[in-house]
Structure 1
Amino acid sequence: MIFDSHAHYDDEAFKNDLEEVIDKIKRAGVNRVLNCGADLKSCITTTELTHKYDFIYGAVGIHPHSADEVFNNINKIGDMLQNEKIQAVGEIGLDYYYDTHDRNLQIKAFKEQMDLAKQLDFPVVIHDRDAHEDTLKVIKEFKGVKGVLHCYSGSLEFAKEILKEDYYLGFTGVVTFKNAKKAIEVVQHIPLDKILIETDCPYMAPVPHRGERNDSSYLLHVADKIAQIKGIGYDEVCKATYENASTLFRL
């Protein structure tokens, strides 16, 4: 029983063997996948995937790298949210890692989509890279919206602030890396009922597959690492994270 709470199976990396990958992850015990859009094109392909595969659900939204797409397409995103298998607005948020993306534009696009989620009563999937302070400000501005900070990369102190807003934290294969001290500390100290597991595939493959194309079958390594960190059973982690994601995404 595994719920991959963040994947990109419409990515070009899967164009030649998606059917084989789908069969592989089903055999690995993956019961649910949330495929996340990042621009208008991938929102459309995400919706198509949800129609084709019964265990794949979707999130539609515009990533901060494509923030300029938001303003002319916000109504299209709202229309996509009417699809019965679209469960969230995402992936949205802020990314300050690169200097080439206008921060004010990102914030405006983020707020526009948070407002859509609030109006239509949908949870959100948030991308936050090197933008912790501004991300928290926006989250606090939109009280009542629930969601997850996917691929969590912040400190324990920041995690505690996010949990006060009743959000979840998503963990990828990064938690298995030797230099993942911050992620391990956060997993160790936050409640299990606030943790989701995810691939962010085709990226972020865990040890012992680091550097390979990631897929949901590798989540067993993430769940096993979290079990080790918290000193609990692997099955307990899988069950809890499955229930957490199902609760957030109303499945």
Structure 2
Amino acid sequence: MTDFIIDSHCHLDMPDFDKDRQQVLKNARKAGVHGFVIPGTTAGRWNKVLKIARNAEDIWPALGLHPYYCNDHTETELEQLAAQIAREPPVAIGEIGLDLFLPQLDEAKQRFYLEAQLDMAREFDLPVILHIRKANDPMLQLLRNHPVKGGICHAFSGSLQHAHKFIDMGFCLGFGGMLTYERSRKLRQLAKNLPLTALLLETDAPDMSGEKHRYQRNSPEYLPEVLDVLEKLRAESRERIAHQTTLNLQQLLGLEIPGFH
């Protein structure tokens, strides 16, 4: 019996998948991955995200302006985002966030677009998908000032204290390929000790490949490898972890997941 798991964060719209996207999806489904959330990153990619999602009942779109591209975003794109959400609501606003690791990214611009999108999420009553890099404390403060209904902390790497603060605000925490590295002791300790009701599985494909696929394109079909590690770390059964992480995402984003009950 294969697992029933969901990739809560994969960028299937990226050019890396243009040559074999359908085969990647076929392989992933065969491996037990029965759903895919695709976060949007730039206004120019939203249509592709939506098109991919429209063609399959197990693919769901999120739309947002990613902090990596803050120097290229425009205020007009915020208006376009609001108009698109009103026309065709995504499951979340994202990927949005704060990246204080890369020095070339303008923090003031990042904050401007993040705050605007947090307010938009509140206006449309949508959860958010957050990119947080070296920015857990400022992100928590921003969420206090711009409260939302919750969402996902993608590729979570904060402390146990940070984790519980996000959970208290209605967030689940995404764990992916980094968990498969033996050296990820701090991350593994988190994944072991946090409540199962707060965990999600993700790949961030084509990025953040796991240990078995280092320096290769990451893919949703490798998601069971994250489940492998969680099974070793935690007291619950593999089936229980698979079911609960899928249920977490279903409830968080209000998804109708074909075949899941």
Per the normalisation by structure 2, the TM-score is 0.92
Whether the aligned pair in 2 keeps the contact of 1:154 and 1:182 (CA below 8 Å) is no
Deviation track 1:116-141 (CA, whole Å, cap 9, x = no partner) reads: 00000000000001111111111122
1:181 aligns with 2:185: yes
Q: Which position in structure 2 is the counterpart of 1:229? A: 233
Counterparts of 1:7-156 in structure 2 under 5 Å?
A: 7-68=10-71, 69-82=73-86, 86-156=90-160
Task: Give CA-to-partner distance per residue, 1:59-80, whole Å, 9 cap, x none.
Answer: 0000112224152111211232
- Between the two structures, name the one with larger relative contact order (CA 8 Å, sep ≥ 6): 2
SS in structure 2 opposite 1:7?
A: coil
* RMSD (CA atoms): 1.4
Structure 2 gaps of 5+ residues are 256-261
The amino acid across from 1:131 in the alignment is A
Q: Distance in 2 between matches of 1:96 and 1:113?
A: 18
Tell me if 1:193 matches 2:197: yes
Identical-residue share of aligned pairs (%): 28
Contact 1:62 1:70 in 2 (8 A): no
SS in 1 for 2:215: coil
Q: Which amino acid aligns with 1:91?
A: E
Q: Which amino acid aligns with 1:29?
A: G
Cα distance change, pair 59–247 in 1 and its aligned pair in 2 (3 A) = same
Native 8 Å contact 1:156 1:185 kept in 2: no
In structure 2, C-alpha distance between the alignment counterparts of 1:125 and 1:144, rounded to whole Å: 11
Moved over 6 A (4+): none
Q: Which moved more, 1:65-74 or 1:125-134?
A: 65-74
The total of aligned residue pairs comes to: 251
Report the secondary structure of 1:6's partner residue: coil
Task: Name the CA distance, whole Å, in 1 between partners of 2:162 and 2:123.
Answer: 27
| Paired residue secondary structure (2:212) | coil
SS of 2:213's partner is coil
Between the aligned partners of 1:67 and 1:157, the Cα distance in structure 2 is 29
Deviates more, 1:179-188 or 1:105-114: 179-188
Aligned 8 A contact 1:151 1:172 in 2: yes
Letter in 1 for 2:195: P
2:156 and 2:174 in contact (8 A); partners too? yes
Q: Distance in 1 between matches of 2:187 and 2:157?
A: 7
Could you tell me how far 1:47 is from its partner in structure 2?
0.8
Q: Distance in 1 between matches of 2:207 and 2:229?
A: 18
The answer on whether the counterparts of 1:81 and 1:87 sit within 8 Å (CA) in structure 2 is no
Cα distance in 2 for partners of 1:243, 1:25 equals 19
Superposed CA offset, 1:147-196 (max 9, x none): 11100111212112212212110011101112111211111221000001
In the other structure, the counterpart of 2:259 is: none
